[in-house]
Amino acid sequence: MKYPSIAVGALGGTICMTADDAQVGALPRLSAQQLVSAVPGLVDIAEIHAATLLQLPSPSLNFAHVLDSLAWAESMVSAGANGIVLTQGTDTLEETAFLLDLLWTHPQPLVVTGAMRTPLTAGADGPANILAAVACAADSSSCGRGVCVVMNNTIHEARWVRKANSMSVETFESAVMGPAGMVLEGTPQYFRPPSKRYREHFAKPDMSVRVALVETCLGETGEMLNAVAQAGYHGIVISAYGAGHVSHDEAKCIEALAPRLPIVIATRTGSGSTAARTYGFPGSEIDLARRGAYFSGWLAPRKARLLLWLLLATAAPLSACAAAFEFWKRVDSIE
Ligand code: GLU
């Protein structure tokens, strides 16, 4: 029997970390081949091509690493892979997966996974996560869904998932939207058709473009926003209160900055959408829209930053930025 061909690329993270000395702590060391060799039953579901792409803790991943991983995944698909699995640290997984999702144009599944416990810890979750991720990437029902994150036998769409607990194995969640499916007894089961996907063809990004993410908090006056603008950032995403609100002072600052650089407002609550027509106080969504800010809708702040980066780094005109964020205000499937 011919098994689906799955390419597994390892980028680092807890899933490949071992510790010789408890004082020093766990460090990324295992190769992709070592990771897949430790998974019982893997050879019975897929033909695996394993490649160690990086051995980094995920806080040290950057945009170039993600784009290089994307190029590797594309080359694997061109060489005949039926699906791709990337393993990495969970700390930045919600961001890398979404950046990949914005750029992944193939129907073949691209699945990102990791682990919360190192391979030497009791109850290590890495092998089970790799098995579930490969099962997902190897199944034709996963095609056309963009990038998914598989952890703890749960399948999440990259656009909604976030790490919601610092140490728990059950850390990933997709607030409001819920998981897309689960891997049950080795088979992915999807609970719904893929949600509407933002599809745009992006040119090669200019890696020198920088977009800042700034969280507003009690007593902020806009000093931080001005400092960021002065530091030469090309755009700012504000992780704002509630439905997309800031203080009156910050609102004045946004109005002054908006003609110079795009400012996108997202909600810092971790769940839900920004509003458009509920509140009218200074610093509210209606007021900030009048002052020239954009709103990210259902897109979380960290993900809004990645989208704004991609738009600015590919020299998208401001009208395209506005249209891009408009998409995320209606993510239901009614066209
Ligand atoms: N808990 C993280 C992980 O799951 C720590 C380090 C990292 O993100 O690489 O891998």
Between CA 147 and CA 159 the distance in angstroms is: 8
Contact assessment for residue 104 and residue 200, using Cβ atoms and an 8 Å cutoff: no
Q: What separation in Å is there between the alpha carbon of 56 and the centre of ligand 1? A: 9
Considering the domain boundaries, does residue 305 fall inside one? yes
Name which of 60, 83, 46 is nearest 12 in CA terms: 60
Is ligand 1 within 6 A of the CB of residue 129? Answer: no
* Phi and psi angles of residue 195, each rounded to the nearest 5 degrees, phi first: -70, 160
Same domain as 42, residue 12: yes
* Structural domains of the chain, count: 2
14 lines ligand 1 (CB under 6 A): yes
Helix axes 318-327, 301-313, angle to 10 degrees: 150
pTM here is 0.97
215 and 279 share one domain? yes
Strand partners, 149: 112, 156
203 lies in a domain?
no
Quote the pLDDT of residue 333: 63
Q: Say if residue 186 is in the same domain as residue 218.
A: no
Q: Which helix (H) or strand (E) holds 54?
A: strand 47-56
Is residue 169 domain-shared with residue 256, that is, in the same domain?
no
What is residue 202's predicted lDDT score, i.e. its pLDDT?
92
Cα separation, 168 vs 184, in Å, equals: 21
- Counting as low any pLDDT under 50, the low residues of the chain are 334-335
Residue 113: give its domain's CATH number: 3.40.50.1170
**What does pLDDT average to over the chain?**
96
Q: What is the pLDDT of residue 164?
A: 97
Closest atom of ligand 1 relative to the 93 alpha carbon: 8
Given 133, 156, 190, the domain boundary residue is: 190
Rounded CA separation 236/219 (Å) = 19
Q: Do 145 and 292 share a domain, yes or no? A: no
The residue segments making up the domain with residue 22 are: 5-190
CB-based contacts of 166: which residues, under 8 Å, 6+ apart? none
Give the chain's radius of gyration (CA, Å). 20
Provide the H-helix boundaries in the chain.
32-37, 63-78, 93-103, 126-138, 223-230, 248-257, 285-290, 301-313, 318-327
Which of 161, 190, 219 is a domain's end point? 190
CB 6 within 8 A of CB 85: yes
Query: Who's near 140: CB < 8 A, 6+ residues apart?
Result: none
Q: What is the pLDDT of residues 29-86, one digit of tens each?
A: 999 999 999 999 999 999 999 999 999 999 999 999 999 999 999 999 999 999 999 9
Asked if the structure places residue 206 within a domain, the reply is no
* pLDDT for the residue numbered 335: 45
Residue 195: inside a domain: no
**Residue 136 in domain:** yes
Is the domain of 165 the same as that of 264?
A: no
Question: Are 177 and 37 contained in the same domain?
Answer: yes
- Cα 17 to averaged position of ligand 1 atoms, centre (Å): 9
* CATH number of the domain encompassing residue 247: 3.40.50.40
pLDDT digits 0-9 by tens, 104-123: 999 999 999 999 999 999 99
- Kindly state whether residue 288 falls inside one of the protein's structural domains: yes
The yes-or-no answer on residue 14 being catalytic is: yes
> Is residue 198 situated within a structural domain?
no
Q: Could you tell me if 264 and 258 are in contact, meaning their C-beta atoms sit under 8 angstroms apart?
A: no
Q: Are residues 75 and 150 in the same domain?
A: yes
